[in-house]
C-alpha cells in the first residue's frame, strides 16, 4: 500500500464541530504537504459555530471570518456532513473505523454554575441561553425571558457579559437592521428594563471586557453608562498591574471606566447600565421565581496579577426578576471520548487526546474543548495548527493497514438509520434563503431558528 498521506492513499480525517477551530484545522490540513481529505461533522444543519450563533448581531464585522471559512470549504478535499450528532447518530468508534484520525473541536457549549442557593429559580439564566436565543440557535429558540421587570443583573465582566448587557440596553431601532432573530426583537421591543447591573467579583483593573466593546456603552441611544467614582480608587497591587506595559488592554479598560465615572447622565435617556465591582452573588431569593439577589462585598487579596476576591461578610440586596450568569464556559462530554470534568475540557498533550496520561490513538482535539474558553476567534487558528502538526507527526502510527472508506462509510451508517445529513451545498441553499428573506427588512439575513425550517428549504 502507498504511504499514508499520498494521492494514492490520502489521509482521511474526521473533524467534529464546524466552528472556527474545526475550519482552521481543515485549513491546516489542506495547506500541508500531506494529501488529506477532511469530513467535518456538525450537529446542526448550519455550520460556523459561535461565529454564527455566538457573535453579537450588532457586531457584523466579527462575522467576516465566515468568508474565510467559505473559501476553505471550496477545496475539493473538504466535505461537510451536517445535521449529525457524533456520539448519538454515529459513534466515535465508527469514525475511527472510517477515518485515520478524528479531531474534536466542539467548543465550550455550556456555562459554569455560580454555586449559590437559588441559582435554579425561574428568572435565573445562563448567558449562553440568552445569546443563543437572540441569535436564533435552534437549541434556545423556545426559551422564554421575562423582561417585564425594571432591573436586570448580569454576573460577570467579560465580553459575553458585555454582549448581554448591551443588547438589553439597546433600542429596537439600534438592533432592527442587524441579524438578530425576529422573535427576540419582538420581545426586546416590549422590554420594561430600566436598569442593567453588570457585577464583577474583582475591581475595574481586572475586568475582562475589550476596550472597544466597553467604549460602545458610551454611544448608546437610550442608555447611560454609570460607574461610581469611588470604585475607581485602586489598591497598590492593582496600580502595579496597570503600570505594566504588557497590560495595556486593562489600562484602556480602566481609563474608560474613569471616563464613565465623570459623565453627567443624559436625562433624555431612559435606561442606565451600572458597572459594579468587588461584589459576588451569595444567594438568589424568591418564591419559585427570582425576586432579589444577595450580593456580598469583596476585597482583593494577593500579589499583583494573582489577586483573588475574598468575601467580607457585608452584603447588599438588589431586587430583580431576571439574572444572567456569565462567569466562564465549559465543554460537555462526548460518548467515547475522555473528559476532564473539573476543567470541562478533553485531556490532551498539544492536541493529542490522553487518558490516564497515555495518548489515545487516532483521537485529537483543538479549540476551547482542548484548552478552555480563552482568546478570540483568531486565537483558535494557532491552536488548531498545533494539533494538526502533532497529527501529521503521527502518520506512521495512523496507518494501520486497513482500508478506510471515509465519508462513504459515514453515509452508509446514517442512511441505514434514516438520518438526514446536510452537505455544504445544501447549507448554501439555506444561506441564500436567509439572506433573501432578510433583504426587505434591511437585515443581513433572517435566520431560520428551527431545524425543520432549514430542512424544508432543502427539500
Best CATH choice for the domain 11-109+331-422 from the list 3.40.50.720, 3.30.200.20, 3.40.50.10860, 2.130.10.10? 3.40.50.720
> Is the whole model's pTM more than 0.85, yes or no?
yes
Backbone phi, then psi, for 184, in 5-degree steps? -70, -40
Sheet holding 308-319, edge to edge: 279-285, 292-301, 308-319
Exposed e or buried b for every residue in 160-199, given b needs 16+ CB within 10 A? bbbbbbbbbbbbeebbbebbbbbebbebbeebebebbbbb
Higher pLDDT, 230 or 110: 230
**Burial category of 259 from C-beta neighbours within 10 Å (exposed 0-12, middle 13-18, buried 19 and up):** middle
Q: What is the pLDDT of residues 195-218, one digit of tens each?
A: 999 999 999 999 999 999 999 999
Mean pLDDT of the chain: 94
- Beta-carbon-side half-sphere exposure of residue 88 (alpha carbons within 13 Å): 7
pLDDT band at 2 (very low <50, low <70, confident <90, very high): low
Query: For the chain, which residues make up each domain, given as ranges?
Result: 11-109+331-422, 110-329
User: Is residue 381 within 8 Å of 70, Cβ to Cβ?
Assistant: no
User: Could you read off the pLDDT of 270-312 as tens digits, one per residue?
Assistant: 999 999 999 999 999 999 899 999 999 999 999 999 999 999 9
Q: Give the per-residue pLDDT at 71.
A: 97
Residue 1 has pLDDT above 60, yes or no: no
> What residues contact residue 204 under an 8 Å CB cut-off, 6+ apart?
227, 231, 232, 234, 253, 254, 257, 275, 277
Q: If pLDDT is split at 50, 70 and 90, which confidence band does 438 have?
A: very high
d(CA 217, CA 224): 7
Element spanning 281, H or E: strand 279-285
User: Does the pLDDT of residue 191 top 70, yes or no?
Assistant: yes
CATH topology of domain 110-329: FAD/NAD(P)-binding domain (3.50.50)
Asked if residues 107 and 331 have their Cβ atoms less than 8 Å apart, the reply is: yes
The pLDDT of residue 109 is 76
The share of the chain scoring above pLDDT 90, in percent, equals 86
Amino acid at each position: 500500500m502507498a504511504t499514508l498521506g499520498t494521492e494514492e492513499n490520502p489521509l482521511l480525517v474526521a473533524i467534529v464541530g464546524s466552528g472556527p477551530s474545526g475550519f482552521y484545522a481543515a485549513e491546516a490540513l489542506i495547506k500541508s504537504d500531506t494529501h488529506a481529505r477532511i469530513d467535518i461533522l456538525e450537529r446542526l444543519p448550519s455550520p460556523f459555530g459561535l461565529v454564527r450563533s455566538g457573535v453579537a448581531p450588532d457586531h457584523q464585522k466579527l462575522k467576516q471570518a465566515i468568508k474565510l471559512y467559505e473559501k476553505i470549504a471550496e477545496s475539493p478535499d473538504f466535505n461537510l456532513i451536517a445535521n449529525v450528532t457524533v456520539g448519538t447518530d454515529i459513534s466515535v468508534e465508527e469514525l475511527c473505523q472510517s477515518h485515520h484520525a478524528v479531531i474534536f473541536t466542539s467548543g465550550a457549549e455550556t456555562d459554569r454554575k455560580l454555586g449559590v442557593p437559588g441559582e435554579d429559580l425561574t428568572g435565573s439564566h445562563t448567558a449562553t441561553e440568552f445569546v443563543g436565543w437572540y441569535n436564533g440557535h435552534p437549541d434556545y429558540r423556545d426559551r422564554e425571558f421575562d423582561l417585564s421587570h425594571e432591573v436586570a443583573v448580569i454576573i460577570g465582566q467579560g465580553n459575553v457579559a458585555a454582549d448581554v448587557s448591551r443588547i438589553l440596553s439597546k433600542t429596537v431601532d439600534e438592533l432592527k437592521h442587524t441579524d438578530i432573530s425576529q422573535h427576540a426583537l419582538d420581545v426586546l421591543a416590549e422590554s420594561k428594563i430600566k436598569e442593567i447591573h453588570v457585577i464583577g467579583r474583582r475591581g475595574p483593573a481586572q475586568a475582562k471586557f475589550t476596550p472597544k466593546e466597553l467604549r460602545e456603552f458610551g454611544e448608546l441611544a437610550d442608555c447611560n453608562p454609570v460607574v461610581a467614582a469611588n470604585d475607581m480608587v485602586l489598591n497598590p497591587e492593582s496600580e502595579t498591574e496597570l503600570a505594566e506595559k504588557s497590560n495595556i488592554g486593562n489600562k484602556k479598560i480602566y481609563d474608560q471606566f474613569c471616563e464613565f465615572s465623570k459623565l453627567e447622565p443624559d436625562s433624555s435617556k431612559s435606561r442606565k447600565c451600572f458597572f459594579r465591582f468587588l461584589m459576588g452573588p451569595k444567594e438568589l431569593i424568591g418564591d419559585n421565581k427570582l425576586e432579589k439577589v444577595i450580593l456580598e462585598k469583596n476585597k482583593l487579596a494577593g500579589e499583583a496579577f494573582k489577586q483573588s476576591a475574598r468575601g467580607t461578610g457585608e452584603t447588599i440586596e438588589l431586587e430583580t426578576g431576571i439574572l444572567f450568569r456569565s462567569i466562564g464556559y465549559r465543554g460537555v462530554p462526548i460518548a467515547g471520548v475522555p473528559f476532564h470534568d473539573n476543567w470541562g475540557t478533553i485531556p490532551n498533550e498539544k492536541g493529542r487526546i490522553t487518558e490516564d496520561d497515555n495518548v489515545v490513538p487516532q483521537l485529537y482535539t483543538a479549540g476551547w474543548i482542548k484548552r478552555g474558553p480563552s482568546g478570540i476567534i483568531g486565537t483558535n487558528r494557532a491552536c488548531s495548527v498545533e494539533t494538526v502538526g502533532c497529527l501529521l507527526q503521527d502518520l506512521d502510527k495512523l496507518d494501520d493497514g486497513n482500508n478506510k472508506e471515509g465519508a462513504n462509510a459515514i453515509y452508509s451508517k446514517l442512511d441505514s438509520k434514516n438520518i438526514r445529513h446536510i452537505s455544504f451545498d445544501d447549507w448554501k441553499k439555506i444561506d441564500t434563503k436567509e439572506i433573501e428573506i432578510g433583504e426587505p427588512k434591511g437585515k443581513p439575513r433572517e435566520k431560520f431558528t428551527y431545524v425543520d425550517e432549514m430542512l424544508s428549504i432543502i427539500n
